[in-house]
A and B are shown apart, each in its own frame.
Chain A
């Protein structure tokens, strides 16, 4: 197994923890059965194989030692099987795959982290990394949008991030009677975020319509498109840039993405045929 190529050969991992996040979303913690995959960087993803069902790309919502944490929403056969996993069961994992958020290149900058829905999960390792080195960055803004309060993932982390110094704002599209926070799309929170457009880097993850609106808003405010990073999703199969299913113009997103700059993404997302 030690000679296996981690991007091509699934490594067996055992489920050692499972937490219900929302009615259809669970956080699963995996530990290597034998050899561990190389260390993942925030923003990279893994191909996670539910034996006998199939594999899907999953970003990491937590990276700690050899443990991998994924937040998975049950939307189809494979994600449903992964969502139903219980401690002790085994999956296959390939990775690390794709590009990461590349946080070190934002050193000294104000950080603007904008998440929509489940998009907060792949941003969580980035937030944790930034909070672990507060002297390394400027102001840390975390703007979170969810459809309803019940759909909010990583909810138990938010108070801790605030205590650690992050300015966290949360908004929902459809409030319930108990919700006392913001209502509206996440872009409306940008006015209240504290950042210097000449010295900031933004990281966006969520529905594409939300990322487009947010990136355009940030660019309109003067943030350079090269300083806006988005995590794009397309159908990924091989994870190694060979099958072509995730092609977006000149990019193979499993290899050249999922994290790309808005300078790269904007012209591609405006081509109707892509």
Chain B
């Protein structure tokens, strides 16, 4: 399987072509129905996915309140990075919003290839760190600043008014 004809947005677009094709060699197509639970917080991260179409909600469970959606992932985005780092446990849960088509990867196979081929391993690790983890960390910080940024006492609002 190659990236040809499957789009190269997101994490696949960020990988050099030779490593992208190698990674896609481990992939197989899967389709999840609407509302399907893909994995649960704390579960073993033995697979990961790259979303081809549809929307996946990442959530965390709050006792007494049920699942709270933290973020959504769509086309081209990596679903799951906990498979790359010990202890290989999911930090969040994942549930489809509608039908989702994705490339599914066996984490053991990809980790073995990463260990065996340092150039491939470096490319994949850099890509996961930059495109998935780094971008989501920046987004989380922006969201924190927007939602909880410290108010400046008596600062003018957007209209130049003091509330």
Binding site for B on A (CB under 8 A): 56-58, 75-79, 116, 118, 147, 171, 173-175, 180-185, 187-188, 191-192, 207, 209-210, 213, 217, 233-237, 245
Contact = CB atoms under 8 A, between A and B. Distances in A.
Interface in B93-113: 97-98
A75 B10 contact: no
Nearest to A235: B160
B3 to A, nearest CB: 15
Contact of A183 (B71, B136, B147, B161): B71
Given A183-B70, A192-B76, A213 B142 contact: yes
Nearest to B75: A192
Contacts of A245: 160
Contact of A185 (B9, B142, B161): B142
Interface stretch (B20-28, B39-47, B118-126, B151-159): B151-159
Interface in B68-98: 69-72, 74-77, 97-98
Interface residues of B, number: 32
Interface in B52-77: 55, 57, 69-72, 74-77
Contacts of A237: 160
Contacts of B9: 191-192
B161 A209 contact: no
Contact of B146 (A78, A171, A185): A185
B5 interface: no
A180 B34 CA distance: 11
Given A75-B161, A209-B149, 5 more contacts: A79-B161, A188-B72, A188-B139, A191-B75, A245-B160
B145 interface: yes
5 contacts: A181-B97, A182-B74, A191-B75, A209-B145, A213-B138
Contact of B157 (A76, A174, A188, A209): A76
A187 B138 contact: yes
A207 B144 CA distance: 13
A193 B143 CA distance: 20
Given A76-B163, A171-B72, A209-B146, A182 B55 contact: yes
A191 B77 contact: yes
Contacts of B143: 173, 184-185
A219 to B, nearest CB: 13
A2 to B, nearest CB: 30
Contacts, number: 92
A78 B147 contact: no
Residue with the highest number of chain A CB atoms closer than 10 Å, among B10, B74, B143: B143
B157 to A, nearest CB: 5
Contact of B69 (A183, A191, A210, A235): A183
Given A147-B147, A182-B72, A184-B143, A56 B97 contact: no
B139 A184 contact: yes
A234 B155 CA distance: 11
Contact of B142 (A57, A147, A187): A187
A234 B145 CA distance: 19
A235 B160 CA distance: 4
B99 to A, nearest CB: 13
Nearest to A237: B160
A56 B159 CA distance: 6
Nearest to B161: A76
Contacts of A174: 147
A189 B66 CA distance: 26
B71 A78 contact: no
Contact of B72 (A183, A213, A234): A183
B76 A191 contact: yes
Nearest to A72: B159
A185 B72 contact: no
Contacts of A79: 157, 159, 161
Contacts of B157: 75-76, 79
A238 to B, nearest CB: 11
Interface centre among A116, A180, A183, A187 (most CB of B within 10 A): A183
